[in-house]
Structure 1
Amino acid sequence: MRLGRSYVGLAVLVLVVGGCSQTQTVVAPAPPPTTTSSRYGAPAVPRSLDVAAASASPCQALLSSNDRRELGVTGAGTEDEVLGARGCKWSVGDLQRFSISVYDNRDLLADTYRAHLDPIFVPTEIQGFPAVRQKTGRGELNICTVTTGVAERGALDVLWLGAGPPTPENDACEFAEQATALVIRKLPPQR
């Protein structure tokens, strides 16, 4: 009986030692998914466009004469600068106005997500780039700001002041997105 217990003890010892000495493949945990916490939920841009040239001369570089005609722009634009962004303002007919500001060294899209200023905040996409529509309300005001990330530290900000109440045919956000798309199509890739 004593010999039987020794074999059982030896077998347990072999199993324990054998189990400890086996090589086991250790799989490293997968890295956590990329989060946008440092971007306050703003999506990253898929590729970077060069906005520096447009920033240097916005009234000439942002929209061609054909683009301005398509948008119904009347008259020449007026350059302006707001919070370090250079831009241009135009008139559309007698009542509508819009401006495009170019941010060439600021992640305005992330700042927009962080600030979330207007009550109507609708994430969207323009020409494959992340954007946000913002409006102060659903009432009679036909005013919209569309902010679009076009580089890691670059953005376009289009403010459209529409005439009359918003309707499907007269939506300031649609006009702002159309103007943004026209600009994006002509921006070269960032080098």
Structure 2
Amino acid sequence: MSRIGKKPVVLPQGVEAKVEGQNLSIKGPKGTLAMTMMDDLVKFDVSNDEIAVTPITTAQRNRQVWGMQRTLVQNLVTGVTEGYTKVLEINGVGYRAKVQGKTLNMQLGYSHDVDIDIPEGLDVKTPDATTIEVSGIDKQKVGHFAAEIRKWRKPEPYKGKGIKYRGEYIFRKEGKKK
């Protein structure tokens, strides 16, 4: 039995959930998100301010996806109520970023500027030249876009230069000895 899957997902005030066939849609104050359930493995039961996720049979495959499907439903509910934010920090001499319209412009020590188009549904802010805040209601989109930004200059272990998540620990190495 899945410890996570057994718990129902509680719907806060102002959040509505609808199941239509294989699709679950959740509407809240920040927007609407939808997902498709796994084919004939789990089912969603929406009743008085909670969603229960249950496997259809006790087969191993059904039990394997049970907890994951419940977590995905919880992510939808959290997204439409609170939203998600990832904060990236830039370290390095001359490294900086700024938002220009629907484009994130970064100077990362290359011979050219790095311009990344901001996807629809995401909000990107640069409170200062070395901080990037990516926020939105879809956890997967926020995490994926933050990873795309980080990919341009991963933090290196000697001086710590690069783009890292706020709170991320960078394992530091000792430099060469004379």
The structure with higher relative contact order (CA 8 Å, sep 6+) is 1
Higher strand share: 2
TM-score, scaled to structure 2: 0.22
Is the radius of gyration larger for structure 1 or structure 2? Answer: 1
Higher helix share: 1
TM-score, scaled to structure 1: 0.21
